[in-house]
Amino acid sequence: MIRINKYIAKCGVCSRRKADELIQNGSISVNGSKVTDLGMMVDEEKDKVSIYDKELTLEEKKVYIMLNKPKGYVTTNDEQFGRDSTVDLIQEEARVYPIGRLDMYTEGLLLLTNDGDFANKLTHPKHDVEKVYVVKINGKVSEEQIEKLKVGVDIGDYITREAKVERKSSNLLQITISEGKNRQVRKMCEAVDLKVLELKRIQIGHLKLGDLPLGKYRYLTENEIKNI
């Protein structure tokens, strides 16, 4: 027996956290009956689990991809407004989904997989995986603004943790955070009256974007996967 959110993740649909959301909103059924119990256990061999009435099957091949996301692409598999999606850039038979998100106007390192456990290790708050961004600002950045970013700022519904902030030039910053709130780096900059012109993620944990061309992708090596 296996907990239902873990089974959904093993099927390559999404992470366990996202699976919990699907369960709570009534999108999941087991043997034809809708379920909302997050603690429900299912039999991998006997039970039939469906999402939006489509039966799920376990993925056999695990895929781990690093993409250098261009601007103009959304990081969702369920795009409803006709916008370009990052999954459209990936030529892979297995159904993969983005780990976390980058907003439409942010470039850089995005990981995609069909391994829910792997995704959970990178996104669950308890793991504190650091993410590094390069931010180009409209105008000069003061030392006072940098110090505020370092100690944490109010981004509307949340006060950010301490961050690492390095000045690269008068209007270029490198910001390292271990959280993953929606549009967090942009909101942090807005909170200290900085206007972001360009934003690029260059590192997640020990995984670095390096010289991977914009819009291109590569598969993670075995060592990179093991080190996660």
Catalytic residues: 103
Cβ neighbours of residue 181 under 8 Å, at least 6 residues apart? 155, 158, 160, 187
d(CA 135, CA 163): 14
Contact 201, 108 (CB under 8 A): yes
Q: What share of the chain is helix, strand, coil (3-state, %, to 5)?
A: 25, 30, 45
Could you give the 3-state DSSP secondary structure of residue 169?
strand
Tokens 């099957």 belong to which residue?
Answer: 57
d(CA 42, CA 32): 13
d(CA 33, CA 189): 46
Structure tokens, 69: 């996301």
Structure tokens, 115: 């391994």
Count of Cβ atoms closer than 10 Å to residue 210 Cβ: 11
